[in-house]
Each structure stands twice: as structure tokens, then as C-alpha cells.
Amino acid sequence: MDGFESASKKALAFLRRKLGFQMCMVTRTEGNDWAVIHRDDQGYGVAPGDVFNWGDSFCSEMVEGNGPNIAPNSSLVPVYAAAEIGRKIPIGAYIGVPLLLSDGRLFGTLCGIDPRPQPDSLADNQDLIELVGSMLSTILQMELKADEEERRAERYQAQAMTDALTGLYNRTGWDQLLVKEEARYQRYRQSSVVIVVDLDGLKYANDRFGHAAGDALIKRAATALLKASRADDVVARLGGDEFGIIGVNCDLEGGLALCERMKLALESEGVNASYGLAATNKTIRISHALTLADQAMYQQKRQKKSA
């Protein structure tokens, strides 16, 4: 096993065969999204990347302590019998344990389901299931720590690809880091947001006061965007008066908060700008989110001009 993905797939295959279940999964929770990262499925038709409603799941009740880790007959557990997901797919038996990050926060779950109730002896496997869950949590934590170090190394290397005027990443650095963050999304299904910022007053500043004033405006904007962003975020000058930000491991709600911080920071520097925001999900990758954010920014700019 050379990492979390390999360990997960081997663990799922082992548990599914050991328990005789139709499907076992490793999942990721983020807000109310419950995404399948890996699965060993022999009948449910679930694919990696599928996203379900966390609040509808057995796992959400298990994590809250409202239901057991093992339910040989899930219909006998009131919260499982009432769970919405049971109305969509047949679940006769269930197992589940949380997968935790190093700070104790929930990453997701290791779980399994079968359409048929199982013998009560299924509960004898609790120690085994908890051990496998603990093992996967440990491997995940080690891999994410290594991933943090890798991200720092990427940012250090990308420092050579900076914009001379602002010191931010240039378009080449942006493109390179975007590919890296996309690969991380594929591994862990941790969402990110893309924000595109376009300055409203650059042409006026250049025409009225000269290019030195325009350059000063761009530098003030860069300072504001760096101040409002977080340590892991990617902030780049994409060209001219356009900037891009990747909010790393950030959902839509966090992205809206990040965008609002940037707006306030820019206003404090006397900079007016138009914004576009898009978040990744099952069908929207970071590169696509960039296109959507760019479109949203231009739509806002057009609305300003027509107002």
C-alpha cells in the first residue's frame, strides 16, 4: 500500500468479502455533501465522485452517536429506519466508523451496506471495523501532512514564476498550481473556490494620471488581495488588471466570506473592482470554475456599466 487510495481500496475489498456485504465505501463529508471517494460495489451502482446528502445518511446519525457502528438489521434502529437514504436505496444491514483528521475533525467515513439484514453475529466484527477505520485515518493524516509539505515546496518553486510588478504568481505560476490543486481534489474531494477580480478603474487611472498611477493601483490591489487571503490560497496576477485566487479547501460559503474580505480590503486601498466566484463540485473542476468565475465577473462589470 503506497498511500491512502491504495490502502482504502484494499481495505474495502477485504471488508466487503469478510462481511459478505454488497458495497463498502470510503466517503468525504463537506458541509451537507457526502461524496464517495472509493468504493467496492457489487450491485448498488455507486461510482467514485457521486455526491449524496449527508443529512440523509446513516453515517451522519452514526457520527452524532445516534446510531450504532454496526446494525445487522437497520430497520430495528429507529434513526436508520427513518433516514431518507433508506427510502432511495435498499439497506438491510449497515456498518460505519468515522475517519478523522489529525485535529479530530471529521474527514468522512468508512462504511458498508447490504440490501439484506444480516445475522446478529455481524456485531462481532466491531473491533475489526474500528481497527481498519483507525488505520485508514492514520494513513490519511500522514498523507495529508506530506501533502502540506508538498504544497509548500510547490509554492517555493513557483516563486520563480512571479509577476514583476506585484510579486504575485504570474499566469504561468497560476496555471501550474491550478493543475496541482486539481489533482488534490481528485484524491480527497476537498472543494476549492476560484475568484476572479478585475479592477474597474485602471484605464481611467492610466489615461488621467499616467501609467505610474495605474501601476500603483495594481500594486495596491495586490497588497489587498494578499491581506484578505489565507496562507494556503493561491493569489496571482493573470494579466493586466485581472487577478485570480484559488481558495484552497474552501466550500462555497467560505468562498463568499473570502470574496467579501477581499472586497473590503480593496475598498480600504481605494480600489474598485468586479468579482466572479465559482466553487468546485462533482462536475465542476478548478479549470471550469475559473471559466465560470470569469463569466460571472464580466457579467457584474456589464451590469455596472448599464446601471
| Residues recognised as catalytic | 241
Take residue 229 and report the three cell numbers written for it.
487571503
d(CA 102, CA 216): 43
Of 298, 249, 241, nearest to 275 by C-alpha is 298
| Residue 51 DSSP SS3 | strand
Contact 293, 61 (CB under 8 A): no
Of 261, 244, 258, 248, nearest to 296 by C-alpha is 244
| Residue 104 DSSP SS3 | coil
Burial string for 143-153 (b: 16+ CB within 10 Å, else e) reads bbeeeeeebee
| Residue 232 DSSP SS3 | coil
Alpha helices in the chain (DSSP H): 4-19, 58-63, 78-82, 85-88, 126-158, 171-188, 202-209, 211-228, 252-268, 286-306
Contact 67, 40 (CB under 8 A): no
d(CA 184, CA 295): 25
Of 88, 125, 92, 89, nearest to 110 by C-alpha is 125
Of 168, 267, 270, nearest to 222 by C-alpha is 168
Give the largest Cα separation in the chain, rounded.
81
Contact 54, 60 (CB under 8 A): yes
Take residue 50 and report the three cell numbers written for it.
457521486
